[in-house]
Amino acid sequence: MATEDLTPDPRDLQCVNIISSHKIGAKTTRCLSILFPESTATTTAAATPTPTAANTVCIRAKAAVAGKAISIAEIVKRRMEERQETWYQYTALSTGETPEKQKKKKPLGGAGAGVEGGDDEEDPFVPLPEKETARKVKTAVISIYISRAPLPGYRKLYGEQTGGQSAA
């Protein structure tokens, strides 16, 4: 059935990436502006929109700020209910790779190391400098998709939560 798979391609979705320094209010406003473009911001639920990337937002965050992403998603859903709109949520967990934070290496020995007889000669056994290789660390990533229309393909992959005016 070709009509069942109306799911937007994830590459076409507008994603809102969350980091610790972002303000919740600003990101909530951004999500709502994606879900309700200016042309439909003043209308209420007149007709059920077809599932497109235009009425779906992806809220993405790493594990350290997953709580902030969840808070933003809950506020967006509450604002949609205030507009008498139905919302559909799909939550995906995945892993992403980030560069490992480099720890500063302390010199071997300590403050008085290498001071024995006052020799001013350089140590002939100086260790070679290590090559800087960026190691990758896997971290959990949460992606919360909120849509104004049901997305059957996402429902199969992630399950579906729904709410709002006509969700009953």
3-state SS, residue 36: coil
Closest CA to 68 of 57, 77, 59: 59
Tokens of 118: 């006052």
- pLDDT, residue 137, reads 87
> Where do the structural domains in the chain lie, given as residue ranges?
1-38+49-99+132-168
* pLDDT < 50: residue spans in the chain: 1-4, 39-46, 48
- pLDDT, residue 135, reads 83
The CATH architecture that domain 1-38+49-99+132-168 belongs to is: 2-Layer Sandwich (3.30)
Q: Where are the beta strands (DSSP E) in 64-156?
A: 87-99, 136-147
For residue 142, the cross-strand partners are 61, 93
* Contact call for residues 50 and 7 (beta carbons, < 8 A): no
Which are the contacts of 107, defined by CB distance < 8 A and separation ≥ 6? Answer: 113
For residue 91, the cross-strand partners are 144
Tokens of 166: 């006509």
- pLDDT, residue 41, reads 43
- pLDDT, residue 32, reads 93
Q: What is the pTM of this model?
A: 0.70
- pLDDT, residue 42, reads 47
Provide the terminal-to-terminal Cα distance of the chain, rounded to the nearest Å: 26
What's the distance, CA 49 to chain centroid? Answer: 25
